[in-house]
Amino acid sequence: MAILNGPLMSLDASGSVAGALTFSKWKGRNYVRQLVVPANPKTVKQVSVRAMMKFLSQGWAAVGATPKATWNAPAAADSVSAFNAFIQRNLKRWASYLSPTQTYPAPNTGTVGTLAAQSIIAGVRQLTVQVSLTAVNTNWGLMIHRSQTTGFTPSFSTLVMCKVKTTTAAEQFVDTPLNPGLYYYKLLPFTTEGVLGATFAEISGTAT
């Protein structure tokens, strides 16, 4: 991505040229980049990144004032908002299969929640994961990994959902749409400060 001043001999420019270049503005800065049309908008990498980005963007509001303030320094260094620094740095952590953190830099501390029960509720083109904890500790969320192969190892490419889990109450997370078939799930808890816990036992269900 190239940053521009006065693109196309004007103060601003937007849109695409000849199906090859696209001009736009981000945070007051003009830029131009190659126009790319994704061949497959639902690759495993895209699903994984979107799941984590959704978790982070929705979770920022609940982060306390003290941990939020720790993102001001990296935000200033990158000339972005604290929210954007929080998203960017945590997505970089996730690309290395590290859990997100509310504080920068990640303290890598805390104790994940302990599992009470988990189950799968089958449905038409969907499966509902139900889980409860016996103790919350400093748990922040759950990574929900899915595969059609039993005994799989959770990884960056198997994440389908990332959900806030800060209570002991039973909660349900719906995975849809799915093609009919048998699916296996593994859940991993993580703390507010970057500790990824051990994988819960594998569970499975059949979407109809």
Residue extents of the structural domains in the chain: 2-34, 44-95, 114-207
pLDDT digits (tens, 9 = 90+) for 11-26: 566 666 666 677 777 7
What is the model's pTM? 0.81
* Tokens representing residue 80 in the block: 């972005």
**Given this model, what pLDDT does residue 21 score?**
78
d(CA 192, CA 60): 12
Beta bridge partner(s), residue 34: 21
d(CA 81, CA 83): 5
Q: Which option is the CATH number for 114-207: 2.60.40.10, 3.30.390.50, 3.40.50.300, 3.30.450.40? A: 2.60.40.10
**Given this model, what pLDDT does residue 171 score?**
97
**Given this model, what pLDDT does residue 22 score?**
76
Parts of the chain with a pLDDT under 70: 1-20, 27-28, 35-41
Check: CB of residue 157 under 8 Å from CB of residue 44: yes
